[in-house]
Amino acid sequence: MQISEKLKNYDTLLFSAIAAFAVYLFCSYSGIGISPDSIMYTSAARSFVANGTLLTFNHIPIVDFPVFYPLFLGIISFITRTDPVAFGAVLNMVLFAALIYTSGWIMSRFVPSSLIYKWLVLAAIILNPGLLQVYSYLWSETLFILEVLFFMVVFRKYLLTHAGKWLVFAAAIAAVACITRYAAVTIVGTGGLLLLLDRTLPLKKKIGHILIYGFICISLLVANLTFNALHTGTVTGPREPSITSFGKNLYYFGSVFCEWMGMTPNMYTAFALPLAIIILAGFIVALVFNFTRRRLDSFENLAITFALVYGLFIVLSSTFSRYERINPRLLSPMYIPALWGYTSWALLLLKRISVKRVRMAVAALFIVMMLGYITKIYLIDKKRYDEQIADEYGNPGYTDNEWMESEFANYLKHIDKSIFDPKVTIYSDAHEAVYFFSGLSSYLVPHKFFKKDVTRFYQIKRFYLIWFNNLENPELINIKDIQKVKKLKVIKQFDEGAIYEYEGEISTAK
């Protein structure tokens, strides 16, 4: 069914409203979800509003993350005079609605297009558990995923016209995305790969466009990384080498897609690795097919190219650098392009089937399969809603019930800061939590991997230590390690943790 001109916008607006309502539901009990990353973004945004700088709560420039998302929050906070934690849920409702509207706008321009296909896919996007989780938290992916779609819209304009203004516009979006998420180098790679594969461009013009595109794309990122290096000595903060192999990361990649397809965890062992290989190999085959047929300028091909580049980047970077294990949050920018890549073929297939009865049967099969998938992910969302909202727990993080009812956290909220000597440094195993609950600045105890940092920490003559028992991080030195070397004095003790002071005595513990 071809999309009616009248419905091109009205139906998409309806789905956008549903998307905003879905975010509202998941933030209705405890507000926007707050994780350690969220606190980093928030503290830098508050710094921007207060003094025009992007410093985190420990008074150093934000380095582990690019600068644009906290700047984005800071600008909104400055204009509205409202804290990011307070407006986070409303912001994400707007961003998710904008994502759905942009998705619908793009699908209206698929060749061929279909109203029923568009409705089914929009429902699958809104109900995706990974996206709903992302848009329930104060995370930079909420903006980055939208930037990915904006890039597709503008870069397709360039592919159709080869006009320099569209190339510059697309490169500018990619440049901003690169200082929203470091993973946005995949947007740069997507555009660069398509420029290389575009056989309609004369060689001289192609070289010129690649140079212009590349220079603009990386300009802001280079500036951001240079600033980081000059002010902190590292370009993206301290990074540890990976402890997971390529095969293991490929398995984790596949397990996320198993989760998105509604499989149970006991099915991951059998299906995760084969599924990961099939997904990535399928994108490669589709890209080669489109290249040979000179069909690189479609939205569908842009989606396939980005999904391939992004997927490979996450798997490979996880193999060489250690960060959180591949999970739905990390792969969330890939979901919409991957969904388009693996469903839009149905539209082409239906167009080529000349026998009406066969065409109707294939269309009915596709609709049933999509409805089955939508039902599965709806049930996953419903379970999450029942556990987190209906049962009044909240989005897991620093605003959930466990923290709100914590005696230690409530003590920190009302702590008398005069118990600390302002000249003495405070350390913690969760410095974000210390800041979120008390407003105090503190520093993270060192990672075990960085031996020199551990040695320097043990040489400190006096410090305070705020320790959370329920946030065990195996990569950090733990309280038992410290007590073997330092004789800590308890200032305040709780079941969930304690506040300690060290004043120069060496422990006699063995």
Q: Where are the beta strands (DSSP E) in 144-300?
A: 240-241
Percent of the chain scoring above 90 in pLDDT: 81
- The stretch 359-380 carries a mean pLDDT of 94
What rounded mean pLDDT belongs to the chain? 92
Q: How confident is the model at residue 510 (pLDDT cuts 50, 70, 90)?
A: very low
Q: How confident is the model at residue 179 (pLDDT cuts 50, 70, 90)?
A: very high
Of 463 and 111, the structure prediction assigns the larger pLDDT to 463
- The stretch 133-162 carries a mean pLDDT of 97
Q: What is the pTM of this model?
A: 0.93
Biggest CA–CA distance in the chain, Å, is: 87
Q: What confidence tens digit (pLDDT) does each residue in 229-269 have?
A: 998 888 887 777 878 899 999 999 999 999 998 888 899 99
Nearest-10 crossing angle of helices 268-292, 328-343: 50
* Spatial distance between the Cα atoms of 277 and 273, rounded to a whole number of angstroms: 6
Given a cut of 90, is residue 216 above it in pLDDT? yes
Q: How confident is the model at residue 506 (pLDDT cuts 50, 70, 90)?
A: low
Task: Locate all alpha helices (DSSP H) within 179-202, ordered by sequence.
Answer: 185-197
CB 67 within 8 A of CB 179: yes
Which of 56-70, 316-330, 441-455, 494-508 has the weakest average pLDDT?
494-508
Rg of the Cα atoms in the chain: 25
pLDDT of residue 509: 47
Given a cut of 50, is residue 219 above it in pLDDT? yes
pLDDT of residue 112: 86
* Spatial distance between the Cα atoms of 444 and 460, rounded to a whole number of angstroms: 14
* Helix, strand, coil % over all residues of the chain, rounded to 5: 65, 5, 30
Chain mean position to CA 105: 23
Q: What confidence tens digit (pLDDT) does each residue in 289-323 have?
A: 888 886 789 999 999 999 999 999 999 999 998 77
Given a cut of 50, is residue 329 above it in pLDDT? yes
CA distances from 355 to 1, 350, 352, 366 (A): 16, 10, 9, 17
